[in-house]
Amino acid sequence: MPVDIADARTVPADPLSTERLAHRGLDYRVISGDDVADFLRAEHRGFIDAEPTDEVVADELAAQGERRIIAVYDREAVQPLPVATECSWGTSLTVPGGEMPMWAISGVTVAATHRRRGIARNMLEGELRAAAGAGFAIAGLTVTEATIYGRYGFAPATAVARVTIDTARAGWGPHEPSARVLFVDRDQLADDLDALHERTRGDRIGDIAGWPRRWREIARVVPGATEPRRIRGVRAVDSAGELVGSLAFEIVDGPSRDRHTFRVNHLIAATPDARAALWRFAISYDLIDTVEASLQPVDDPIGWQVHDRRGVEQRVRDHGWLRILDVPAALAARSMSGAFGVRLAVTDPLGLADGAWTVAQLGADGVRVEPLDEGERTDITLDVGALSAAYLGGVPLEALQAAGRVTGDGAKIRALSDALRAPTAPHLSIVY
Ligand SMILES: CC(C)(COP(=O)(O)OP(=O)(O)OC[C@H]1O[C@@H](n2cnc3c(N)ncnc32)[C@H](O)[C@@H]1OP(=O)(O)O)[C@@H](O)C(=O)NCCC(=O)NCCS
């Protein structure tokens, strides 16, 4: 069921961050129109990219869609570029049992000339206050560095695996998938990825809505793309000829002409059979000795589908970070399993999500979340980051308890952990 998502562009810049940055001679603003071109140039600089051409900037400008763009200007700057950038938009997050609106944050950069003066802190705290004020119960981002965002209450809630396959050792196993694999050109590849993502993201807990330029970047049909002609695309079709899978890949030169690397840039499938067909295609490709694929689900069955699972290495790392802004709304937005009842206290240094509630599910009526009276005893205490990590069911509360992030009654912690558990490993399939 599609969810109603507020347009983030209507949300004004947070007054507290505006005031704090103004004291330092900095203007913190929501911008639009022509100013966004300089924002994009500053964002490229912040991410250590080369200076973009006007053509690249124009293409990116046209793709901003419903993004709310925040820029910070130094009144004494020589160039018109902002000294810090950041953008956000309302999207849909797949949760157990459905979808919910999420405030997505991206493009966080601070110019090297202005670093470590609290600009990022003010931008992030300002975002969270703005999102909470606009009624969003959760915010999310993907991170370049894993040590920055925990201090604002974000925590990794979905993990991904980087899969490396030694094709000669692994070898495709006895199961023969029935989907057929066909080459497509790069424009078609972008369309296939887009269509399949939108069709299947509701099945992937932790995934969010895509946008057309994300797929055009992966297919490298955007201006300024690096070595666009290296990208190849195939689709998987079922016996009725229906699109059921798509794979963007490139062949990277190896030490000799018969030892290349097959790099998966994106792999998506609507059925397990299509997924198997695309993996088999990659593993069986002639003149390839290694297949590499990042951002894969941590519970991918590939290890079971090859002859020798020792030929498949899966390296797991954090990927999707979440930050709960409204505990009762977030808990009510997802389904939980079994009957349980706990008294929960959540701490939040930013004061957005703290409080104490009874969280219970007794019959078929779903989860009930009610505030506790002041002074009432609680069973479980945890910080907002710990609850955000556990929210999608990919991180057991027991692990956070072992790390000192969750305290309280062991049986109640297990009961809530069981209730939160997801039927499949959460998987965010894109970077944003
Ligand atoms: C990361 C970046 C945005 C930080 O901006 P900044 O304005 O220097 O950050 P702040 O001064 O507000 O610092 C905020 C806090 O984060 C910490 N921090 C900042 N950058 C950090 C980094 N790279 N690694 C670890 N901690 C970092 C600071 O020590 C500070 O901690 P404290 O408030 O608890 O003392 C900036 O360095 C940057 O643009 N880097 C390149 C682009 C990038 O990596 N962006 C992040 C995309 S996910």
Which helix (H) or strand (E) covers residue 248, if one does? strand 243-252
**Are 304 and 347 members of one domain?**
no
**Are 304 and 396 members of one domain?**
no
Predicted local confidence at residue 198, as pLDDT: 98
Best probe residue, ligand 1, of 39, 70, 116 (max atoms within 8 Å of C-beta): 116
Q: Which residue reads 């900037």 in tokens?
A: 57
Domain with 225 in it: 160-320
Answer whether 147 contacts ligand 1 (Cβ < 6 A). Answer: yes
Q: Which two tokens stand for residue 108?
A: 């966080």
Within a domain: 1:
no
The rounded Å distance from CA 317 to ligand 1 centre is 20
User: Do residues 238 and 276 make contact, with C-beta atoms less than 8 angstroms apart?
Assistant: no
Which are the catalytic amino acids? Answer: 149, 432
**Are 63 and 147 members of one domain?**
yes
Beta strands (DSSP E) in 7-154 are 26-31, 68-74, 84-95, 98-110, 138-142
**Are 186 and 274 members of one domain?**
yes
Under-70 pLDDT residues of the chain? 1-2
Burial class (CB in 10 A: 0-12, 13-18, 19+), 417: buried
Predicted local confidence at residue 364, as pLDDT: 78
Predicted local confidence at residue 257, as pLDDT: 86
Predicted local confidence at residue 169, as pLDDT: 98
Predicted local confidence at residue 2, as pLDDT: 67
> Which DSSP string corresponds to 336-359?
--S-EEEEEEEE-TTSSS-EEEEE
- Domain end, chosen from 258, 288, 320, is at 320
Helices (H) and strands (E) in the chain, counts: 13, 17
**Are 173 and 314 members of one domain?**
yes
Answer whether 123 contacts ligand 1 (Cβ < 6 A). Answer: no
CA gap 302, 362 in Å, rounded: 38
**Are 140 and 14 members of one domain?**
yes
**Are 108 and 220 members of one domain?**
no
- Domain end, chosen from 118, 138, 153, is at 153
Within a domain: 47:
yes
Within a domain: 430:
no
Q: Kindly report the length of the chain.
A: 432
Shortest-distance Cα residue to atom 5 of ligand 1: 120
Answer whether 113 contacts ligand 1 (Cβ < 6 A). Answer: no
CATH number at residue 415: 3.30.1050.10
Predicted local confidence at residue 213, as pLDDT: 97
**Terminal C-alpha separation, the chain:** 23
**Are 270 and 372 members of one domain?**
no
Within a domain: 426:
no
The rounded Å distance from CA 116 to ligand 1 centre is 7
**Are 278 and 146 members of one domain?**
no
Predicted local confidence at residue 89, as pLDDT: 98
- Domain end, chosen from 153, 169, 186, is at 153
**Are 361 and 287 members of one domain?**
no
Total number of domains in the chain = 3
CATH number at residue 201: 3.40.630.30
Within a domain: 217:
yes
The rounded Å distance from CA 391 to ligand 1 centre is 25
Instruction: Read off the pLDDT of residues 102-118 as tens digits, 9 standing for 90 and up.
Output: 999 999 999 999 999 99
Answer whether 110 contacts ligand 1 (Cβ < 6 A). Answer: yes
**Are 244 and 230 members of one domain?**
yes
Within a domain: 431:
no
Predicted local confidence at residue 1, as pLDDT: 57
Answer whether 87 contacts ligand 1 (Cβ < 6 A). Answer: no
Within a domain: 432:
no
Within a domain: 210:
yes
User: Do residues 178 and 239 make contact, with C-beta atoms less than 8 angstroms apart?
Assistant: yes
Ligand 1 nearest atom to the CA of residue 120, by list position? 12
**Are 276 and 330 members of one domain?**
no
